[in-house]
Structure 1
Amino acid sequence: MTAQGVFISFEGIDGSGKSTQARLLAEHLRGLGHQIVLTREPGGSPGAEEIRRLVLEGDPNRWSAETEILLFTAARRDHLERTITPALEAGKTVICDRFADSTRMYQGLSRGDLRAVVDKLHALMIKQEPDLTILIDMDPGTGLSRALSRGTGEERFESFGESLQQKMRQGFLDLAAEFNERFTTIDGNREIDVVASAVQQIVAERFP
């Protein structure tokens, strides 16, 4: 039988560089001969990508926080069924740009005290946590400037402004303390290659 794969997620505020670091880690591990599935949330499967367009584009007040929680959970369930679980069962390493921790923050914390709702839905419908979560910690102002400069058309959450990013940064740090056995926090205010080396070292130490 094939050994169960490894599930690594990247978290952080918008513009923190987590997407870049997820890609660089995937390239590094592929170079070492590992089978890698690089994916993202919301998205990562055909159905989830359709939901991604609903939640990341359009007016900031398009959805209530409660509706967003349901949409993100639906996307995550499809992603899990069609991408993540099959890859892990095949012994592959899954590297995911955001997972449930982002919903705990952006919907559970930022727009009301809905963390308990997020956790209940997660326990009911998802029942999966990463083996390792790498938090790329970034100055909120710098991260927001980076995120807005991308011009992808998916800036719905960035449009809430720097105050949300500040709240999210502290929320992610608190989450890292809450789940300290799963989380590792890295200073993302450094050069990309320096951050990438730190990520590689953490992964090598955690999964020798």
Structure 2
Amino acid sequence: MARPIFIVFDGIDGNGKTTQAQLLREHLERKGYEIFMTSEPSKNEYGQKIENILRRKEAAQLSKEKWLELFTLDRKENVHEIIGALKEGKIVICDRYYYSTLAYQLPEEKWQNYASKFLKPDITFIIDVSAETAIKRLQEKYKVTGEKKAYFEKLRILKEVRKKFLLLPNYLNDNIKIIEGSRTIKAIAEDIKKEIEILLRS
């Protein structure tokens, strides 16, 4: 049985992380691995509360401290499930994790302390695209789905948060891979598969 590993995909909204997480899941399942797929906000109580707020006007009224509280409560529940899946020998793939909280809600000097409170991933892929590219992708997506734009999906916010994501390797001792996300879906997926194959052999 393969050793359980914890994989995270993160970065700004519209960067393609959900697509890449799903492609990796399908790739590993074809190879016979058992996968536990999760995301943040999660499907748990606090995750659903966050999702309900994100696309409503009241989202703009919440302070960074309140967002931090909600995401932290959701993450505690999610990590409990992640640990359970790892103990069962599964590979865990998580779409967003504490890196988003660091980039969106906390100043750099608090990053290490906050991250130390949670289970560290074996590998994290930050898929990097420009804020302009992300906004364009989101607009195209919502034309199809009819969803409302979420609170954080604004050009100004995404520009600032992208800078924060790119700073993460300088502040954390995590295995973070910055992946150029403006290429084709296939090219990005191949790079990710190579990194995972190395990790599984280690």
Same fold, TM exceeding 0.5?
A: yes
Identity among equivalent pairs (%) = 32
RMSD of the alignment, in Å?
2.1
| Aligned counterpart in structure 1 of residue 165 of structure 2, from 172, 179, 202 | 172
1:186 maps onto 2:170 in alignment:
no
**Structure 2 partner of 1:145:** 136
Q: What are the residue-to-residue correspondences of 1:47-196 with 2, within 5 Å?
A: 47-59=45-57, 60-81=59-80, 83-108=81-106, 113=107, 116=110, 120=113, 123=116, 126-151=117-142, 152-153=147-148, 155-158=150-153, 161-179=154-172, 181-196=174-189
User: What is the alpha-carbon distance in structure 1 between the residues aligned to residue 109 and residue 140 of structure 2?
Assistant: 30
Structure 1: which 5+ runs fail to align?
Answer: none
Q: Residues 180 and 202 from structure 1, CA distance in 2 versus in 1: closer, same or farther, beyond 3 angstroms?
A: farther
Task: Report deviation, 1:127.
Answer: 2.6
Q: Provide the residue aligned with 1:29 in structure 2.
A: 28
The alpha-carbon distance between structure 1 residues 87 and 75, as it changes in their structure 2 partners (threshold 3 A), is: same
**CA offsets, 1:183-204, max 9 Å, x none?**
0111110110111111101111
TM-score by length of 2: 0.88
Displacement after TM superposition at 1:3 (Å): 7.6
Offset at residue 24 of structure 1 (A): 0.3
* Residues 1:12 and 2:11 are matched in the alignment: yes
**TM-score, normalised via structure 1 length:** 0.85
Q: Residue type matched to 1:40 in 2?
A: S
Greater Cα offset, 66-75 or 146-155: 146-155
Per the TM alignment, residue 176 of structure 1 is displaced from its structure 2 partner at its CA by 2.6
Q: Structure 2: 5+ residue runs without aligned partners?
A: none
Alpha-carbon deviation of 1:168? 1.3
Q: What code does the residue aligned with 1:63 have?
A: L
User: How many angstroms apart in 2 are the aligned matches of 1:201 and 1:4?
Assistant: 17
**Quick one: distance in 1 between partners of 2:20 and 2:164?**
21
**Kept in 1: contact 2:5–2:91 (CA 8 A):** yes
**CA deviations over 1:45-89 (Å, ceiling 9, x no partner):** 4324323324422124131100000000000111112x2111011
Structure 1 runs of 4+ off > 4 angstroms?
Answer: 118-123
Higher fraction of helix: 2
AA aligned to 1:148 is Q
